[in-house]
Amino acid sequence: MEIKKISKNIYEIPKEGGMKVPGRIYAGEGLMQNIEKDKTLEQVKNVAHLPGILKYSIALSDAHQGYGFSIGGVAAFDMDKGIISPGGVGYDINCSIRLLKTNLTKKDILGNQKKIAEALYRKIPSGVGRGSKFQITRKELSKLLEQGAKYMVEKGFGEKQDYLHAEEEGCMKQADASKVSERAIKRGIGQVGTLGAGNHFVEVQYVDEIFDKEIAKIFGLEKNQITIMVHCGSRGLGHQVASDYIKKMEDEYGFKNLPDRELINAPIKSKLGKDYFSAMAAAANFAFANKQLITHWIREEMKYLFPKIKIDVVYDVCHNIAKFEEHVVDGKKKIVCVHRKGATRSFGAGRKEVPEMYRKVGQPVIVPGSMGTASYVLVGTNKAEELTWGSTVHGAGRIKSRGAALKTLKGEEVKKNLSKMGIEVKSGSWKSLAQEAPEVYKDVDEVIKVVGELGISKKVARLKPLCVVKG
């Protein structure tokens, strides 16, 4: 495959054959070598074939092979000629990150890591094959799907400020619970308030370094402060919404003209396209509500351990989502459909979507690292709107398969090594620990450096883990 270097950190796959636009990869040289090892670039090329795609098919510096779209993939589509694709959002709809800040500092936590990890592990259902202790009726679940985080707050599980500090204010208004199948409901009804497994986690961290004092202050962050990060998604309900609409779209539109069956799609303005968007929004709201309930449980448990603790939401960002957003196309402002699959919105100052208290500087972007490494808080930029449809990276990105991890790593040792570094981990499964060990991920510092150089987000603070609860 031909790859042209355009400038530092920018590579292009020239348009050829059925490609409607070129491919663009935003990565440094070292990361580019990783990206070239699997099928990421082929997937970037495949996405470039889709009807109505605008400017480029994009992969960000944490990209790796997915299915259909690559992970770390971004693409925008024309509202009239373009498509919406469940494979461009991913199965875990609104797999996302919420960051909480506290009034504790590192010294309050040191020595108590084990106790905290165990307490949070007991409180928050994690892992697979275990249901939630939260019971909800079918009728109430429909309300939850249309109201997101607000539903939970109104039931007493949180404060209004929580959802006001979230992307979409914790609720995608276009959600329509009647577009979610009974099968999806069946999968999700017992999973409200569960973390799930894989790379999902709750992590207690401390602010290790501040890079931009002024913006950190606006985000409410300072050195040595304790933060808590929650990573989870829409669980079985979201997975089933994706599967359901992939099948419906295949029945209606087929896949003969597609380079990959996983790229099945529907025109944005078709009935099916609209139905999928409404169902996707409902699944996104499930994820917002899920994190809200988990936030409540974290508050309860931490309050028991630290009676004077105060916990507030910094921000809540979506990683797997499609959005209708205004962007500049050929010099004109236009609504387009942006797909972000394993990518984070990174809106800069002035955008109306950014909560008022952050609008002067840009939105907080929360990028989790792997278990042993740092996570980052970045700020969105106007440059991201120019280069990447207002998007940036979502994490470190995997480099090693789960199978390869199990061959070389043991969960027990991963835990022991992290413990030596002062990080206490609690997980229901040793294997799950090995599969998510720090070694299987790219160097998050390098990923962050590249997005900084590109200007698609800027460093504000670095967070280091103290306690981790793994799904």
3-class DSSP assignment, residue 127: coil
Q: What are the angstrom distances between the C-alpha of 243 and each of 133, 179, 239? A: 26, 13, 6
Q: Closer to another protein at the Cβ: 110 or 128?
A: 128
Q: Please, what is the Cα angle at 154 between 151 and 158, to 5 degrees?
A: 95
Return the residue matching tokens 């409180």: 123
Instruction: Please report whether residue 112 would count as binding another protein according to CB under 8 A.
Output: no
Q: Which stretch binds another protein (CB under 8 A): 10-18, 155-163, 234-242, 272-280?
A: 234-242
Pairing of strands 57-67, 23-26: parallel
Instruction: Please report whether residue 135 would count as binding another protein according to CB under 8 A.
Output: no
Token pair belonging to 15: 């348009």
Q: Which amino acid is at 219?
A: F
Token pair belonging to 55: 């400017």
Instruction: Please report whether residue 242 would count as binding another protein according to CB under 8 A.
Output: yes
Instruction: Please report whether residue 439 would count as binding another protein according to CB under 8 A.
Output: no
Residues whose CB falls within 8 Å of the CB of residue 78, separated by 6 or more in sequence, listed in order: 52, 54, 329, 336
Instruction: Please report whether residue 399 would count as binding another protein according to CB under 8 A.
Output: yes
Instruction: Please report whether residue 140 would count as binding another protein according to CB under 8 A.
Output: no
Instruction: Please report whether residue 183 would count as binding another protein according to CB under 8 A.
Output: yes
Asked if 88 and 343 touch (Cβ cutoff 8 Å), the reply is no
Instruction: Please report whether residue 368 would count as binding another protein according to CB under 8 A.
Output: no
Tell the smallest beta-carbon distance from residue 135 to another protein (Å): 15
Q: Please, what is the Cα angle at 73 between 68 and 77, to 5 degrees?
A: 85
Query: Can 394 be counted among the known catalytic residues?
Result: yes
Tell the smallest beta-carbon distance from residue 187 to another protein (Å): 4
Paired with 320 in beta bridges are 341
Q: Closer to another protein at the Cβ: 100 or 322?
A: 322
Instruction: Please report whether residue 67 would count as binding another protein according to CB under 8 A.
Output: yes
Alpha carbon 455 to its chain centroid, in Å, reads 20
Instruction: Please report whether residue 76 would count as binding another protein according to CB under 8 A.
Output: no
- Number of residues located near another protein, criterion CB under 8 A: 52
Q: In the range 37-56, which residues lie near another protein by CB under 8 A?
A: 38
Q: How far is 257 from 254, CA to CA, in rounded Å?
A: 8
Instruction: Please report whether residue 68 would count as binding another protein according to CB under 8 A.
Output: yes
Q: Closer to another protein at the Cβ: 190 or 390?
A: 190
- Which are the catalytic amino acids? 394
Residues that bind another protein (CB under 8 A): 38, 64-68, 71, 90-92, 127-131, 183, 186-188, 190-191, 196-198, 235-236, 239-240, 242-243, 246-247, 250, 255, 260-262, 264, 398-404, 428-432, 435, 471
